[in-house]
């Protein structure tokens, strides 16, 4: 597995991304959609892990319009304040344009077999949902996406497989929002919903305050099986 920073050309300009390619040199593509901490070590390690599983993983810098190159952690109050400031100023509609450009970038790569999925976390979980509603990505997975309930009017646009991992006790997605998500998506044959009892937001973020090994392993195993089924 090899990883490197590359440039991606989008409709609104050029931005960077972290690319990890499997040792075989070829595989399905996956866009890894960042949390509110930028393309940091956590996102890079997710890309590396996916590459080790045979996928060509690319994590685009979606904060490039605000401040390129953000790589912060969840370990200090100052970093959390910075992350929430970026989240508050982030343009979701522009971000999904960049995700779409990243999907297309992967499809043009010799290393990619032509199939491209997306997986996102937190802010990226919302963008993974919107990847399913607004792009032609072949499959999408969202972990504890925030504000999906505000975009349920787009659910009818989902034509490709989508899996959502929902944290039952998510501090950023209250019970009524979770109920709305389930009601709005449960009848869509393209959507698979998994709820993790007792888990809080970011239960799959390694090193995070709410990390839960068993449920992270369960969610990640489901994600890998989902991508292998839909992208290979």
Residues annotated as part of the active site: 170, 201
For 208-211, which contacts have Cβ atoms below 8 Å and span 24 or more sequence positions? 208/74, 209/74, 210/167
| 3-class SS of residue 158 | coil
Radius of gyration of the chain (CA): 16
Q: How far apart are CA 31 and CA 205, in angstroms?
A: 17
Instruction: Yes or no: say if 232 and 202 are a contact pair by the CB < 8 Å rule.
Output: no
Cα(158)–Cα(190) distance, rounded to whole angstroms? Answer: 7
Residue 113, phi-psi category: left (phi > 0), alpha (psi -120 to 50), beta (remainder): alpha
Nearest CA among 83, 89, 101, 34 for reference residue 62: 34
């Amino acid at each position: 597995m090899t990883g490197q920073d590359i440039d991606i050309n989008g409709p609104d300009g050029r931005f960077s991304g972290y690319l990890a390619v499997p040792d075989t040199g070829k595989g399905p593509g996956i866009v890894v959609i960042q949390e509110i901490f930028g393309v940091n070590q956590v996102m890079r390690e997710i890309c590396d892990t996916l590459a080790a599983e045979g996928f060509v993983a690319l994590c685009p810098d979606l904060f490039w319009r605000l401040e390129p190159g953000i790589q912060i952690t969840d370990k200090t109050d100052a970093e959390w304040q910075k992350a929430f400031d970026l989240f508050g100023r982030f343009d979701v509609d522009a971000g999904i344009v960049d995700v779409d450009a990243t999907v297309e970038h992967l499809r043009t790569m010799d290393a990619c077999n032509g199939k491209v999925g997306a997986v996102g976390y937190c802010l990226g979980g919302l963008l993974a949902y919107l990847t399913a509603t607004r792009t032609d990505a072949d499959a999408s997975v969202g972990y504890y996406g925030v504000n999906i309930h505000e975009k349920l009017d787009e659910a009818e646009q989902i034509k490709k497989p989508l899996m959502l991992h929902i944290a039952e006790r998510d501090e950023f997605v209250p019970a009524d929002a979770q109920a709305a998500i389930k009601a709005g998506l449960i009848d869509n044959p393209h959507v698979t919903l998994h709820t993790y009892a007792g888990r809080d937001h970011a239960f799959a973020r390694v090193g995070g305050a709410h990390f839960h090994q068993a449920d992270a392993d369960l969610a990640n195993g489901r994600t890998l099986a989902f991508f292998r089924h839909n992208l290979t």
